[in-house]
Amino acid sequence: MKRTRYTSLSEINVTNLVDVTLVLLIIFMITAPLLQTGIEVELPKTQAARLNVREGVVVSISKDGSIFIDDIKVTRKNFAATLLKNYESAGQKSVLLRADKSVSYGKVMDVMGQIKRAGIHNIGLVVEPLDEL
């Protein structure tokens, strides 16, 4: 009787791996813009340079004047301490201020003053870009 000799298959078929990887890439490309969560704020529109909103700590002021640091509501009393903690954990990049366009100028300046008093001088204002015709 003749014995059949089995050899190991040393080639890896990467076609299936590439297919799955491309499908996952497409899914992430479609869902990534939808994952940008945050406080509902209607930003004022103006011409400004494009900025990645995830480059630092995001401070938001909603229509009713509530203050949020990275989607967490804070009181005026613990604003500075929470901001400094988040600022240091974000690598001290910058603070991005988002305020609803109906919020008074005085409220925005008050929050900016608190940020400056906390020792943070790199503040960016987030706006909605103008629609180009």
DSSP the chain: -PPPPP--------HHHHHHHHHHHHHHHHHTGGG---------EE------GGGSEEEEE-TT--EEETTEEE-TTTHHHHHHHHHHHTTS--EEEEE-TTS-HHHHHHHHHHHHHTT---EEE--EEPPP-
The domain that contains 80 carries what CATH number? 3.30.420.270
Query: Which position has the higher pLDDT, 128 or 19?
Result: 19
pLDDT for residue 133? 41
Task: Give the pLDDT confidence of 1-50 residue by residue, as tens digits.
Answer: 677 877 776 777 788 888 999 999 988 888 776 665 566 666 666 665 56
- Domain assignment of residue 63, given as a range: 45-129
Task: Name the pLDDT band for 54 (thresholds 50, 70, 90).
Answer: low
| Domain count of the fold of the chain | 1
Q: Does residue 30 sit within a domain?
A: no
Average pLDDT, the chain: 80
